Structure 1
Amino acid sequence: MDLLTPWRSSARTDTGKVRARNEDAFLALPERGLWVVADGMGGHQNGALASRMIVERLAELPGGSDLDRRVKELRQALHDLNRRLGKELTLTADKPDPVIGSTVVALLVEGDRAVCVWAGDSRCYLWRSGNLYQMSRDHSLLQQLMQEQQMSAEQAASQPGAHALTRAVGASETLVLEVVEFTVYPGDTLLLCSDGLYQSMSSTMLGNALSLPSTSLALERMFELALDGPARDNISAVVIRR
């Protein structure tokens, strides 16, 4: 690893207490300024395959100092995978309604520029000066109901299928990615995670963990808290600090 990189990170995944297998996958390449969390869906083999394909494909991307080029290549790789998963689906269509897909949240950094690219409900958070900011917005029916129907989070959560995803890699013919760019400062801490982590924790709990002195301590605290709860889903997180 290039020790000149100003970035430090810690990453971990856990099956949780209920699921038989782990369909999450992560990537942590601080020397290349690239981190990813993917949360597979569509049953054991399919979900694990989709998240693993995303992580393996993004790990192959070239590094370099041209952030705009890297973002373009990452987006293209995800669009290619979306098509490929669609083809895999037609080859394995022995069930009436097979799904093979995955959420993705990726973070690319270069200097003081950071770009987050995502589809689905895996999230990117920024912890800065004692405040927690959610940088990504969930692509879920819940979020859509809150935005379009002006429902409260409680009202939206009570609707049938509220946690259904409206976007994911492999979920539909056309993949629509969302992108946000922001400036990062020394001392900033970033978190990429699957919904298994944030659903079991309040913003205060997340912030308290991210305020700890190292990425490994922050990660350890979050997993302690998540696994103290019901942990009904797989849990994955990457903590990144400049």
Structure 2
Amino acid sequence: MAIAGPWRSAARTHSGKVRTRNEDAFLARPEQGLWVVADGMGGHQAGDIASQMIVASLAELPVHGDFDDRLIRIRQCLHWLNRRLGQELTVSAGRHDNIIGSTVVALLAEENRAACVWAGDSRCYLWRGQRLYQLSRDHSLQQQLIDEQQMNARQAQAHPGAHALTRAVGAAEQLTLEVLELEVFSGDAFLLCSDGLYQGLSSDALGHALNHAVPETALKRLFDDALRGAARDNLTAVVIRG
């Protein structure tokens, strides 16, 4: 049977074991049914500024109107940010050859409806009926090689540019967002996370963590598991339950 909240969530970010700067950012507004993870593009100037701008701008969106209105505003906001990051900031920094960008994955939920909006390789997972589903599909060269060149995951991962992004906010003049809408049911749990978190964890590890009914407990399990590994990148996760 479909549910109507109230939503519970827990969120955390960590710089990891190698990087001194955390370019990830998150938003958790369970009372508004909105959660976001943004991962500033590593190796580029001001990746942390880009991710923080995304989170801050989405946090300021009005919450009036129905679900469809709010979803449109989220998409419009991200397109506006893409133009701003691609033009104003780059020019003002005097660095025409540098990209200021970030991945984004957002979840909007209201009553029995949810929508995932994303660009890049930050992910949205659904834990339902003791099964883990990856709702988002990575916008990366690795995924493109799998889709277009019929490579398996191992072959694609071995490609020298496998982790290069094919979409991100601020990375190109035109931003193409992907949107997936779904119905929410009792017992569903969602996970939004940056690639630093899921790259170090198996699907089984993600599922075992999300099986905990309390979001804070699930989140602790995710970070404990991730930080036992190499944790070479920033780690960010948001766990959501209805």
TM-score w.r.t. the length of structure 2 is 0.95
1:141/1:43 CA distance change after superposition, 3 Å: closer
The CA distance in 1 between the partners of 2:39 and 2:90, in whole Å, is 18
Alignment match, 1:81: 81
CA distance in 1, matches of 2:5, 2:132: 24
Alpha-carbon shift at residue 159 of structure 1 (Å): 1.2
Could you say what secondary structure the match of 1:106 adopts? strand
Q: Could you say which residue in structure 1 is the equivalent of 2:164?
A: 164
- Whole-angstrom distance in 2 between the partners of 1:149 and 1:44: 28
Distance 1:44 1:156, change over 3 A: closer
Partner of 2:91: 90
Where 1:32 maps in the other structure, the secondary structure is coil
Where does structure 1 differ by over 4 angstroms across 4 or more consecutive aligned residues? 42-45
Matches within 5 A, 1:181-196: 181-196=181-196
What pairs up with 1:80-159 in 2 under 5 angstroms?
80-87=80-87, 88-94=89-95, 97-159=97-159
Residue 29 in structure 1 maps to residue 44 in structure 2: no
**Residues in 2 aligned to 1:83 and 1:6: alpha-carbon distance in whole angstroms:** 35
Q: Which amino acid aligns with 2:20?
A: A
Displacement after TM superposition at 1:206 (Å): 0.2
Q: 1:99 to 1:44 in 2, by over 3 A?
A: closer
Residue 99 (structure 1) shift: 1.8
CA distance in 2, matches of 1:65, 1:113: 14
* Larger mean Cα displacement after TM superposition, 37-46 or 108-117: 37-46
Counterpart of 1:200, as a letter, is G
Partner of residue 56, structure 2: 56
Shift of 1:110: 1.0
The letter of the residue matching 1:58 is L
Q: Identify unmatched segments of 5+ residues in structure 1.
A: none
Offset at 1:81?
A: 0.3
Percent of aligned pairs sharing the same letter: 65
The residue aligned with 2:7 is: 7
Q: CA deviation at 1:212?
A: 1.1
Change (3 A) 1:204 1:42: closer
Look up the match of 1:211.
211
Q: Shift of the alpha carbon at 1:65?
A: 5.2
Asked if the contact 1:196/1:236 (under 8 Å) is kept, the reply is yes
Task: Quote the offset at 1:91 in angstroms.
Answer: 2.0
1:23·1:44 contact (CA, 8 Å) conserved in 2?
Answer: no
Aligned to 1:236: 236
Task: Name the stretch that deviates more: 211-220 or 34-43.
Answer: 34-43
Q: Is the 8 A contact 1:42 1:100 kept in 2?
A: no
How many residues were matched structurally?
238
**Deviation digits for residues 87-113 of structure 1 (CA, Å, limit 9, x no counterpart):** 21122243x731210000000011100
AA in 2 matched with 1:7: W
Amino acid at match of 1:91: S
Work out the CA distance in 1 between the residues paired with 2:222 and 2:165.
24
How far apart, in 1, do the equivalents of 2:86 and 2:44 lie? Answer: 17
Secondary structure of 1:213's counterpart equals coil
The 8 Å contact of residues 146 and 156 in structure 2, kept in 1 or not, is answered as yes
In 1, Cα distance between the equivalents of 2:200 and 2:64?
37
- Counterparts of 1:138 and 1:42 in 2: how far apart (Å)? 16
